[in-house]
Amino acid sequence: MDENIRRMQDFADLHGKQLRPHVKTHKSIDIGRRQIAAGAVGITAGTIGEAEVFAAAGFDDIFLAYPIWPTGGKASRLAALAARTRLRVGVENVAAVDALVPALGDRRGSVGLVIEVDCGAHRSGIAPHQAGRLARCARARGLRVDGVFTYPGHGGRAGSREGAARDQAVALRAAVAALADEGIRAEVVSAGSSPTVAFSTDDVITELRPGEYVFNDVDNHSLGACELDQIGLFVATTVVSDQGHDHVVVDAGTKALAREGDPVRGWGQVPALGGVLSRLNEYHGFLRLPAGGARPPVGSVVPLVPHHVCPVVNSFDELILTDRRGSDLGTWTVHARGRLN
């Protein structure tokens, strides 16, 4: 993990980008502090709850990269956050802009809006050429517009990383131009993600928001976004049954692993054994082993690599720290675990 933090910071520095790691992956104040100490300019959060946990711990520059909807209790929580930390929030529709005005009240000028544009993932985000219109609408209501962001989610498929990063640069350039047409300078031009970051070096981009790189996982390795020995998180799981099938049963199931993976590649891997989790129940994982390979005895602990690390970390309250030799160095809390709102 320490090497991953260093490597990503070096990459950002080399290309003159600000690094703003997404804390959704680790949700841990201790790890966030290491990222800041290494040179990160601030953090990215996915929910108000995540942002609150880090703001309370003294993180003073937070971008909530999500299409915000500030009704009910969220309105006052957002205003309280803005009083505590330098805050930017994502916005991508007029209704949300309208809702932010009463939500932020007097703090209206102290929150920076970052317009989300769609670069091909077709998740959330306005079309890039419409970003200027939305920015103008926000300004007319007394809100501050700081820039634009996008998420190249279509770069999470095999062979698509470079193309998605190219789409991302095209969309961000168009959005910056659309803001400029309204006389608004995009101070922040923010790009994702761990799978695509290696190709996100276009001049238009000012900041990078990768999250998963801190731990990496099977998905990032399959995509070519990391080496096997750059994976920094394992689920320590115990073999509880061996009835002579082509699998043994381990005590990690859907409640630990969130059924991330797919039926073809499985739901988690134990590289040292060539083992693949071929099926999951809630508290049971079916660890399929190669014929003739080593068979871990009942009671032994095997290190499982998740397909997608983020929901796995969110299943646990604590991380156990080790060095490369596996020595136990203590535990850290997953402070923002379960802060889904």
Residues contributing to the site for a copy of itself (CB under 8 A): 24, 46-47, 66-69, 71, 92-93, 95-96, 99, 118, 122-127, 153, 238-243, 245, 249, 251, 254-256, 258-260, 281-284, 286, 297-299, 308, 310-311, 314-317, 337-338, 340-341
Instruction: Starting at the earlier edge strand, list the strands of the sheet with 269-270.
Output: 269-270, 275-280, 285-288, 247-250, 235-241, 301-304
Instruction: Evaluate the CA torsion angle 81, 87, 92, 93 in order and state its sign.
Output: positive
Token couple for 311 = 């929901």
DSSP string covering 261-309, please? SBTTTBS-EEGGGTEEEEEE-SS-EEEE--TTS--PPTT-EEEEBPSSH
Alpha carbons 85 and 48: distance in angstroms, whole number: 12
Min separation Cβ 140 and a copy of itself, Å:
19
Sequence-distant (6+) residues with CB within 8 A of 207 are: 17, 18, 19, 20, 41, 188, 189, 190, 191
Residue 38 or residue 104: which is nearer to a copy of itself going by CB? 104
If one counts every other C-beta atom within 10 angstroms of the C-beta of residue 142, the result is 11
Instruction: Let me know: does 151 contact 123? Beta carbons within 8 Å.
Output: yes
Min separation Cβ 178 and a copy of itself, Å:
16
Min separation Cβ 322 and a copy of itself, Å:
16
Residue 15 or residue 288: which is nearer to a copy of itself going by CB? 288
Residue 107 or residue 259: which is nearer to a copy of itself going by CB? 259
Min separation Cβ 176 and a copy of itself, Å:
20
Alpha carbons 263 and 328: distance in angstroms, whole number: 34
Residue 163 or residue 311: which is nearer to a copy of itself going by CB? 311
Min separation Cβ 256 and a copy of itself, Å:
6
Min separation Cβ 166 and a copy of itself, Å:
21
Residue 82 or residue 89: which is nearer to a copy of itself going by CB? 89
Min separation Cβ 15 and a copy of itself, Å:
26
Min separation Cβ 87 and a copy of itself, Å:
18
SS3 sequence of 149-171:
ECCCHHHCCCCCHHHHHHHHHHH
Min separation Cβ 308 and a copy of itself, Å:
8
If one counts every other C-beta atom within 10 angstroms of the C-beta of residue 76, the result is 12
DSSP string covering 180-213, please? HHTT---SEEEE--TTTGGG---TT--EE---GG
Beta pairing partners, 241: 249
Residue 187 or residue 251: which is nearer to a copy of itself going by CB? 251
Instruction: Let me know: does 336 contact 54? Beta carbons within 8 Å.
Output: yes
Alpha carbons 266 and 95: distance in angstroms, whole number: 41
